[in-house]
Amino acid sequence: MIHVVGAGLAGLSAAVALAAQGARVVLSEAARQAGGRCRSYHDSQLDMTIDNGNHLVLSGNPAVHRFLEAIGAQGRLAGPSVAAFPFFDVATGKSWTLRPNDGVIPWWLLDSNRRVPETGIGEYVAIASLMRRHPGRRIDEVLPCKGNLWERFLRPLFVSVLNTPPEESSADLAGAVMRETFAKGGRSIHPRVATPSLAAAFVDPALERLRQLGADIHLGRRLAGLKLQHGKVTSLAFTDGEHALEPGDSVILAVPPWTAQELLPGLTVPDAFCAIVNAHFKLAPLSELPLIVGLIGGTAEWVFAFSDRLSVTVSAADRLVDIDSEVLAQALWRDVAAVHGLPETTPPWRIVKEKRATFAATPAQNARRPSSSTQWSNLFLAGDWTDTGLPATIEGALRSGERAAALASRVTLQ
């Protein structure tokens, strides 16, 4: 038997992988719904289903595609058939679109109409230095964090991916993202969003697949403690009672880092975090709008156009979390209205603030990320905060689940 504690995407990934191999899986989640940070819910203020945040994945994210295929949800991602990233400068009113070609050879750099305005090829060539490994170094120690390419593309990209002010972020994590996406050509970076919701794409099909495979699922069941003896976990104390482990049983902790540290006091985990602010506006787009538009010089950073609403995401948003929500909604809507030429009257809105959305992607915090294996032979960790080599992303969370499942299955089979 393998206990998976935590039903966010990391836990779901581990549970699905194990159950598909024929393992007996018990999935326990403290909350009354699965999904963790990638969840959907009916918002009474808007009277509609919304996601807690806007999560973008890319066509070249392999773990995303493996997971969706495993749960039968391959068709639940939507997005353009080309690599196109529209941008809008709030201060000047100018817009442009970054359009890499699909192939690996970046001939698009020769076409000024496909590049960021007023940038030269040499600026893009300089990004190659980021592709190398830079242990312990910050981005600003590797790249000149200035100029049009930085301000109009790289900074918005890195702040969204790393959820940390880019200048102080890990060059290794930024480089890993670039190697896996832009370095492989435009075919790997077609933007994708879950449709019709995060739960419908990633969570509900996973739970249904687990039920089909015979997994035991317990929502609203919190792990209060675990007993460690002779180098292994011997029992789990849930809020509904204690469960003794049999020889060959394993445990995967797929919980937030602060919860993992409470359960395992000697564990080193990231302990600094950055906020994300999302805004949802109940206004269906009146015409065919781009799925996502990047903003330069505004309060908002990315504007998403869904079929029933317009949404905004602001990463590394610690400066915004204490602002009154109504004031914040009005400021964000002004940016949305400017981008899409809409009236400035703010439609019905919902602000979602996550103060500890992800670990701060600095070199110091990256060094605190633990591996999936632990000093206890039958205990493993999963989560985007573990040492995946990637920032705290959906892709990283799913990979961590796959890794923990592989380790747990080896122990169980012994």
Structure confidence at residue 413 (pLDDT): 53
Summary mean pLDDT of the chain: 95
Does residue 125 lie in a domain region?
yes
For the stretch 199-212, pLDDT in tens is 999 999 999 999 99
Question: In which band, very low, low, confident or very high, does the pLDDT at 11 lie, cut at 50, 70 and 90?
Answer: very high
Q: In what helix (H) or strand (E) does residue 158 lie, and over which residues does it extend?
A: helix 155-162
Same domain, 146 and 258: no
Number of domains, the chain: 3
For the stretch 81-101, pLDDT in tens is 999 999 999 999 999 999 999
Domain residues for the domain of 113 are: 85-189
Q: Tell me which of 333, 359, 385 is where a domain ends.
A: 359
Q: Which two tokens stand for residue 219?
A: 């929502």
Does residue 135 lie in a domain region?
yes
Same domain, 285 and 177: no
Cα(127)–Cα(134) distance, rounded to whole angstroms? 13
Same domain, 277 and 261: no
Cα(181)–Cα(61) distance, rounded to whole angstroms? 8
Same domain, 259 and 395: yes
Same domain, 280 and 348: yes
Q: Tell me which of 133, 165, 189 is where a domain ends.
A: 189
Does residue 60 lie in a domain region?
no
Same domain, 345 and 256: no
Looking at residues 48-72, what average pLDDT do you find?
Answer: 96
Structure confidence at residue 363 (pLDDT): 98
For the stretch 340-392, pLDDT in tens is 999 999 999 999 999 999 999 999 999 999 999 999 999 999 999 999 999 99
Same domain, 126 and 184: yes
Does residue 164 lie in a domain region?
yes
Question: In which band, very low, low, confident or very high, does the pLDDT at 410 lie, cut at 50, 70 and 90?
Answer: confident
pLDDT at 414 over 70: no
Buried b vs exposed e over 84-101: b needs ≥16 C-beta within 10 Å?
A: bbbbbbbeeeeebebbbb
pLDDT at 152 over 70: yes
Does residue 391 lie in a domain region?
yes
The two beta strands, 232-238 and 241-244, are antiparallel
Buried b vs exposed e over 361-370: b needs ≥16 C-beta within 10 Å?
A: bbbebbebbb
Q: Evaluate whether 134 touches 175 at the Cβ level (below 8 Å).
A: yes
Same domain, 259 and 372: yes
Same domain, 177 and 261: no
Does residue 311 lie in a domain region?
yes
pLDDT at 411 over 80: no
CATH, residue 282: 3.90.660.20
CATH, residue 207: 3.50.50.60
Question: In which band, very low, low, confident or very high, does the pLDDT at 164 lie, cut at 50, 70 and 90?
Answer: very high
Does residue 223 lie in a domain region?
yes
Same domain, 277 and 338: yes
pLDDT at 282 over 80: yes
Structure confidence at residue 392 (pLDDT): 97
pLDDT at 185 over 90: yes
pLDDT at 124 over 70: yes
Same domain, 114 and 206: no
Peptide bond into 165 cis (omega under 30): no
Q: Tell me which of 170, 189, 208 is where a domain ends.
A: 189
Does residue 394 lie in a domain region?
yes
Same domain, 348 and 376: no
Sole residue written with tokens 């595609």? 65
